[in-house]
Structure 1
């Protein structure tokens, strides 16, 4: 076929995206360079898991955009706010990473400069840990819930799930499709962050070809292929790689190392040391000044890749990439197998094509039904119109049942879309619910919305809280003692960045996991409270479970400890226990008083009646690194020196 009959380069490049590399792991210059290039092409760049500065959502004077189309949601939830989610074309859930599947990540304190900390809603100079798992995903049903949450947070965006190529990935991909993801990404083992452990780089994961072939075959066998887009990445370098991936079943293609090399990376493998000599993987201003990459270089690279794709499509007789997707019979393995190194290698399992039902498609031709038309939020948005249209105060009353999941999130997204990250004044929209709320009640709730629930809530309440207020108290007709009973489930306030929560009762495990800015008062918590917390303040007026404060690197918690046994239930590796000072006690009393006003708490009332004695029985949980950085800052201000320099010096030990 003549190459003139093949679809143009401008259409092919729309299928390309750059890989997930976070701002923090790479410099602002490198990150924005990729974003500008992909936006010029009509492809997509990926934020990685480090959040994105809101200034990048605004186009530059010359018309270029630094906004990344794909916003990643990883286990650390860094910078994941309502505003971040609303400003996305695609939302990607990172289940694993090709270079180190099953492992978490860590950004050392000496790379957490103030501008990185601002984007991640954390403290400069304090190291950040991404947990190995998502703490709101322990089953495929939990994954379906997070997909639903993100779809509510941005109804226009596609939701991806990123998986690593390994044996059995096809079964997981089928589950992802049934969980209503719009895209599944199969990431090969060759992909790699330069900061991955060497053992993981060498031995973990599998080639993308194996995972992609298994995924395509499993989706076809289960009649699921037509409803989900398949994407692949992991050291794709040439147009030939793209065409082979398409023939094996991929519709979209990710590149990370190659465009980084085009931007100036020289593979020094010092990404974790902040010493990158070409300004790519560093936050050091002097080294960043050496960055020589330009968007034009990346644009040229992808256009040449697309041109090679066109040549190969013409040779195979395809007019478009759509025609080539899943056509495995066009892959000839004879030459490869005849090589002496490959003698005895059987590639037929990779090239197997399942028997297709009549009319079955080898690619995605339909969209997932997310059931958003059934959401309670549609009615809430209608009733909140005066606030959304004219900033008027609105009060709404509504019953709620546990089938009403992710309540308040679509309303919050609509508010953020109209008013940005600043939101509206507190209590502009106040909603009083009565009943039992479903999962993810008030997820990603922005400033200006207050949810008051009389009843109880489920898991993931206040997930990603972005400035809103949530108050949960038992029903007025309840006969039990609130302080002895569960009021909300597990993983409350996961990844919250701002806002307030008052809970009259006990909550489950992992309360405030990865909290980075919200303030919460609760009357008891389960195991692993304040795990991986990086900011915000937590007040616990009752008992705690074991392993409190594990991985906690920022923020402060105050725990009522009348019998001095709390020490036995903390994880002391990263935290110190102190007694609150006078300023702490004043703040603490104010919070307890507010808790009493908001919830009618009997516990708070009895504490306030005897505050002189009760106040001295609180333990103050303070992370060691956080304390060191605050002391360095305080000392610098007293001496009249630059506090930023002092903080970064303290972070280097």
Structure 2
């Protein structure tokens, strides 16, 4: 403001901020060091801002204000602490709502007990209420059940191949029209497990006075630990009647007899009642659907809360009241996220908790009935049910709450949001399939690009469920009971008209009479026949099956404009078209070695490319076998865990792909269950056998578009011959991100759809995150063309592609290359058993178990047959439309038209027939990017090259030729500036290209530097390299270190003490696999993150040191920040800690601390400290060596738990893996 200049860092420490102060009081702060020349001899302090910290310079008072000084000055302005102490209240129940006494089960639901009102008994049977609210047998078995029993969100595999909600033949829950958005590139997602210290579900209820004033009334709020309310918490909340919390309950139902118009009138009534309640003094509105019965149908909870939230905003009353939703239709973590995302302060899932309670009692009842059938004495079981049942119920409820809370944290973290207060009302979703009238009234501001169902159709769907549960008003119960097995509805007892059981629509896994699945047994068998026999006619039958299916994707609603055919012989060759096809990223680990190699061999034979996935590459693949086949994946993926990413791995690639997100779980890291981590997989990933491997949600060197540009630059330095691409997942705004990717000098961008396959992903993510590739690809093409960027970059797409029609349609929307994952594995034998995450794949494709691997019968010829047939079909389509080359149709959506289709009719709860027109608007997809045709619509340059690059490595390589050509030792010296980035990386890549992972003999090339190094100094430095830097460095030093040695030391003439000052930035040694690093000073956040084998000595760290470490040794000769060793499963750390601060700063989930060390440990520690002194001249190290007898007792040894214990810790944090019962597998067969 002309007087005070300040800086503040985000609470997670994701952005870099470094500062220097010299003896004249000059303060320089920036995102990196070296932006301003300062004489190190005059510098008295080098520091950094840590997470949430501030720094300011008051030029009037001529003061430098530190973080603590600034916050103390603000905190002392008002008696905030006193206000909070007196104002903040809590509910009169335990933190998780522990019951005060026994809570017996009555007819499958919870009754009143000891004055505590729990779920009020209803005249309706549980199954009728469940059916009316949209429960299915699958949801109870695979979602609610595991949440109550295990406290976890279930894991599934192979992606979502069911129709979009708006195209489903079965009425879908209202929540399914909302897709979670996620962070990619522009900001990072967060790891809610390993970095839980920055996450919070703390919820405050009550009115918010004006922001323009401060006073004690601002603190008069009710505090909850979580927005997920237990039965007892809800009862206590509903009883509040004294200011500032005055509770009013609004009923969210309407008369079923009013038919579809009743929904809209019910919303009108609800919004009017909300305004009246606020005007009458209410400060907490409970929106409750408990009144549902045979006469009253429930308004969808999400629609109710959205409508009230936005109506109160429009009339200027929203800040005077909070909203709590008492919901019967919320049970999944996605449901809770949407309710809170559209304004709910808290949610009480009353019917889900009744369902959990029923499951507990049903377990006892089943055991008792089984004993009675066996003529056993069941009295002990009956006593246990009576005495222990309430406690079991409470445990199940707490488990359900835990699963809901953990799932909510994960969904928040996908967007990079730490606190639920930031998520509440933020509307971080995209709507797929709702009409403008619904969006504008209830969800204003949410992206909704394709229109869809209006209030009339939504009401028809929910009334269909209501009638299935309670019958149609005015109809005989016997008639109403005729809901048939054929449409998947619950069967009904004709004597009582009460549903006997919940329906199973097959939303999750295929059921013969359930929801349509794109990979149903008929389609799978047809593709197998085509690939095994190699007959194109068989392929045509497969393609006909796919194209004649009921509309389930956006592309099923689109057709080609007719044209004048050309002779097939004039169309480009099959070989040319096949080269555009790619076997998408599937890791060795997710796939068996046999399946992984089969796909690689097939793609290499046809001159195309396979993608390694994120599991590294076995060096044996680089050598041809006896048949001359090479199993080497020409595309190498670089994902967040950096498994196996070494200089050799990078040097051997034709393309390098940065995986920012995955279609089945965008915003989350890859997941490999411990049962699939055998010795081979652990060796390639530098990990421990048997321990699950969960990749970090973010790349810890990509927190912004500038960081992405840096990684692209790093990879191009490591392998100048390789094209570098970026994998994104379709969502609203992905076109803008793709433009940033182009400006970051990527050579291609991949747009993945939400329905791609997966080896293991949370079920809620598979079903509810991301968007169709059709939307993402069209937006990307439009943005790139409109900004005249399209000519610089290739565009690729994947996600559920199956036929030549898909390929041509994707080309017209802008894709030049096409990825196939699920189709590729089905082509070599996958039967869609969806057991990938269980290691029991019956065809040997997605397993590491030798028993199942022996069953693998796939061949490269099968994959080649599929891709050949695919190309043949593409040729035929091009010929029929009048085109000779695929290039002629790329980026030409004007060649597409909306396909006129009849729509479904809702009868007896299932859509069938042709009564309702499709209401989806495809204009966002079919809009031309450049009607003038003056801008490029496909790439026109082979490489997207950064101009005016400032790099030292070309000179270094020239000067080191004697070492590279003849193995002679060389000693080189250069001055360095922060514009010199990734110094040493091109040299490392050249060494790896020539000599492989062995590199050169130790100490062959020694290069000295003086100055301020730019980002990624020494990235992927390999064997034979020694880099010595006298000065300072920025972020990502030693990234991917794989055998080299890096020494960083302060100049000899500095006035500050190096061990008290910051000399290097964040994310040092990210993904290192071997080599050594010595740092004469302190480092920033996330030092040695994902270190898999390097050895390092450093004199102090910021937060999250040694995070996700799976190997190597780290010695810290100073303080460490918070969350040290989070997710550390292997390796060793030694921390100097005379003041015993480490016990309060480390993460104890997977490691323990030891003060007493073995002689072997002490010898290793001493040798490393001594080497540090000898390499850097560190005064700190010299002091420790000189007084070793004292200092050796001041170290902690940080030791990971034994593998079995560590595996249990990881499993505890993971979502629950769901088993596929043998009976269901048999039914599929």
| TM-score, normalization by structure 2 | 0.51
Contact kept in structure 1, 2:672 and 2:760, CA below 8 Å: no
Q: Is the 8 A contact 1:337 1:344 kept in 2?
A: no
Q: Secondary structure of 1:332's match?
A: strand
Question: What is the Cα deviation at residue 125 of structure 1?
Answer: 2.5
Structure 2 gaps, min length 5: 1-565, 904-913, 1208-1229
Using the TM superposition, give the Cα deviation of residue 109 of structure 1 relative to its aligned residue in structure 2, in angstroms. 2.5
Does residue 327 of structure 1 match 2:902?
A: no
User: Are 2:847 and 1:271 aligned?
Assistant: no
Q: Which residue in 1 is equivalent to 2:1078?
A: 502
Does 1:233 find its partner at 2:810?
A: no
Q: Distance in 2 between matches of 1:362 and 1:88?
A: 28
SS state at 1:397 partner: strand
Alignment of 1:81-92 (within 5 A): 81-92=646-657
Matching residue of 1:454: 1030
- CA distance in structure 2 between the aligned counterparts of 1:415 and 1:72, rounded to whole angstroms: 21
1:431-490 Cα deviation digits (max 9, x unpaired): 000000000000011110000000000000000001110000011221110001111100
Checking the alignment, whether the CA contact within 8 Å between 1:555 and 1:626 is kept in structure 2 is no
Higher mean displacement: 600-609 or 359-368 = 359-368
Matched, 1:152 2:717: yes
Taking the aligned partners of 1:430 and 1:194, their CA distance within structure 2 comes to 44
Q: How far did 1:19 drift?
A: 1.2
1: CA distance, partners of 2:673 / 2:868? 36
Distance 1:240 1:396 in 2: 58
1:387 partnered with 2:963 = yes
Alignment correspondent of 2:547: none
Cα distance, 1:278 vs structure 2: 1.4
Distance in 1, matches of 2:1040 and 2:1106, equals: 14
C-alpha distance in 2, partners of 1:355/1:106?
41
> Which residue number corresponds to residue 202 of structure 1?
767
Distance of aligned partners of 1:340 and 1:89 in 2 relative to their CA distance in 1, 3 Å threshold? farther
Name the stretch that deviates more: 268-277 or 14-23.
268-277
Partner of 2:1115: 539
Q: 1:641 is matched with which residue? A: none
CA RMSD of aligned residues (A): 1.5
SS in 2 for 1:4: helix
Q: Structure 2: how far apart are the matches of 1:606 and 1:61?
A: 60
In structure 2, the residue matched to 1:61 is: 626
Residue 610 (structure 2) pairs with residue 45 (structure 1)? yes
Cα distance change on mapping 1:427 and 1:6 into 2, 3 Å: same
Q: Distance in 1 between matches of 2:985 and 2:997?
A: 14
Query: Using the alignment, how far apart are the partners of 2:841 and 2:1092 within structure 1?
Result: 29
Instruction: Report the Cα offset of residue 56 of structure 1.
Output: 0.5
Q: CA deviation at 1:60?
A: 1.8
Counterpart Cα distance in 1 of 2:1077 and 2:1125: 19
Aligned equivalent of 1:644:
none
Q: Within 5 Å, which residues of 2 pair with 1:365-380?
A: 365-366=940-941, 367-371=943-947, 374-380=950-956
Q: CA deviation at 1:250?
A: 0.2
Contact 1:558 1:621 survives alignment (8 Å): yes
Give the equivalent residue in structure 2 for 1:315. 880
Distance 1:190 1:562, change over 3 A: same
Whole-angstrom CA distance in 1 between matches of 2:1098 and 2:916: 64
CA distance in 1, matches of 2:707, 2:916: 44
- Residue 418 of structure 1 aligns with which residue? 994
Q: Does 1:607 align with 2:1172?
A: no
SS at match of 1:213: helix
**Aligned partners of 1:123 and 1:422: how far apart in 2?**
23
Counterparts of 1:71 and 1:354, CA distance in 2: 32
Is 1:516 matched with 2:1092? yes
Change (3 A) 1:612 1:16: same
CA distance in 1, matches of 2:858, 2:875: 27
- For the 8 Å contact 2:1150–2:1206, the answer to whether it is kept is no
Aligned mates of 1:44, 1:335 — CA distance in 2? 37
Q: Is the 8 A contact 2:1200 2:1206 kept in 1?
A: no
2:1103 to 527, 535, 538: 527
Alignment CA distance shift 1:59-1:303 (3 Å): same
- Do structure 1's residue 110 and structure 2's residue 649 form an aligned pair? no
Helix, strand or coil for the counterpart of 2:764? helix
Question: Quick check: 1:129–1:551 contact (8 Å CA) kept in 2?
Answer: no
State whether structure 2 residue 645 is matched by structure 1 residue 80.
yes
The SS at the match of 1:84 is helix
Cα separation, 2, equivalents of 1:232 and 1:622: 44
| Preserved CA contact (<8 Å) 1:337 1:345 | no
Structure 1 residue 625, shift from structure 2 partner: 4.0
Deviation for aligned residue 1:373: 5.8
- Work out whether residues 897 and 926 of structure 2, in 8 Å CA contact, stay in contact via their aligned partners in 1: no
Partner of 2:1020: 444
Change (3 A) 1:212 1:543: same
The corresponding residue for 2:935 is 360
1:404 alignment partner, SS class: coil
Higher mean alpha-carbon deviation, 381-390 vs 17-26, is at 17-26
Given candidates 1168, 1171, 1182, the residue that maps to 1:594 is 1171
In the alignment, structure 1 residue 622 sits paired with structure 2 residue 1199: yes
**Which residue of structure 1 lines up, in the alignment, with residue 869 of structure 2?**
304
Moved more, 26-35 or 55-64: 55-64
Distance in 1 (alpha carbons) for counterparts of 2:956 and 2:1136: 38
Structure 2 distance, partners of 1:321, 1:335, is 26
The answer on whether the counterparts of 1:128 and 1:553 sit within 8 Å (CA) in structure 2 is no
Question: Cα 1:92–1:342, aligned 2, differ >3 Å: closer, same or farther?
Answer: farther
CA deviation profile, 1:394-424 (whole Å, cap 9, x unmatched): 0000000000000000011111111111001
TM-aligned CA deviation for residue 368 of structure 1: 1.2
Note if contact 2:675-2:690 (Cα within 8 Å) is conserved in structure 1. Answer: yes
Distance 1:446 1:36 in 2: 29
Aligned residue for 2:397?
none
Q: Structure 2: how far apart are the matches of 1:191 and 1:261?
A: 13
- Partner of 2:937, secondary structure, is coil
Contact 1:126 1:554 in 2 (8 A): no
Distance 1:390 1:457, change over 3 A: same
Partners of 1:526 and 1:546 within 8 A in 2 = yes
Tell me how far apart the structure 2 counterparts of residues 502 and 451 of structure 1 sit (CA, whole Å).
11
Q: Which moved more, 1:193-202 or 1:431-440?
A: 193-202
Report the CA distance shift for 1:186/1:527 in structure 2 as closer, same or farther (over 3 A): same
Q: Which has the larger radius of gyration?
A: 2
Higher mean displacement: 363-372 or 281-290: 363-372
What is aligned with 2:293?
Answer: none
Separation in 1 of the partners of 2:930 and 2:1190? 76
Q: Once the two structures are superposed, what CA deviation does each residue of 1:3-31 show, in whole Å capped at 9, x if it has no partner? A: 11000100000000011111011100010
Residue 974 of structure 2 aligns to a residue in which SS? strand
> Is the Cα–Cα contact under 8 Å of residues 1091 and 1106 in structure 2 kept in the other structure?
yes
Q: How many residues were matched structurally?
A: 630
Q: Corresponding residue for 2:1161?
A: 584
Distance, in Å, in 1 between the alignment partners of 2:697 and 2:885 is 40
Deviations 1:69-91 (A, max 9, x none): 11000000000000000010110
Q: Is the 8 A contact 2:662 2:752 kept in 1?
A: yes
The verdict on how the C-alpha distance between 1:462 and 1:357 changes in structure 2, with shifts beyond 3 A counting, is farther
Separation in 2, partners of 1:503, 1:109 = 35
Distance 1:250 1:271, change over 3 A: same
Of residues 1135, 1138, 1142, the one that matches 1:562 is 1138
Compute the displacement of 1:268 (Å): 1.5
Shift, 1:181, TM fit: 0.4
The aligned runs of 1:127-142 (5 Å cut-off) are: 127-142=692-707
Contact 1:129 1:532 in 2 (8 A): no
- Please, which runs of 5 or more residues in structure 1 have no aligned partner? 631-653
| Greater mean alpha carbon deviation, residues 17-26 or residues 494-503 | 17-26
Any conservation in 1 of the 2:648–2:992 contact (CA below 8 Å)? yes
Say which SS state the counterpart of residue 630 (structure 2) adopts: coil
Q: Deviations over 1:179-212 (max 9, x none)?
A: 0000000000110204111111111111110000
Distance in 1 between residues matched to 2:915 and 2:867, nearest whole Å: 34
- Match for residue 850 of structure 2 among 265, 279, 285: 285
